[in-house]
Amino acid sequence: MLDSRLTTPHAVVVTLGVVALLSWLVLIGLTARDMTARGWSASRDIAHGGWELAGVGTSGLAIVVTKVAQRTSERWLLAVAVPVWVAALCIYGLMTWLIL
């Protein structure tokens, strides 16, 4: 989310994008592991609003990818940003369903 306000050189934006992607990959892997170990009913019983951050973080990753595409001539990155954004919506919906 920090990148949406930056007006810095290309290298900083790309660096933030790589850090965001690597962090997202680690956290989504740990989350998936924990949720499969518990099962759906146990996950539903302990779900809380903080879990919505998974969707927010994923949409933040889509924003960073869009910014990188905007600042470079790499327009193909927009084809990556859209599925990431759709994944964010799905994750947000899943977490909302577990909470409700």
pLDDT for 27-48, tens place per residue? 888 888 877 888 778 877 887 8
Widest CA span in the chain: 47
Judge whether residue 83 has pLDDT over 90.
yes
pTM, whole model, 2 decimals?
0.74
Distance CA 41, CA 20 (A): 30
Q: Look-up: residue for tokens 């592991």? A: 33
Per cent of the chain over pLDDT 90 is: 15
Give the residue with greater pLDDT, 7 vs 21.
21
Judge whether residue 77 has pLDDT over 80.
yes
For the chain, the domains span: 2-99
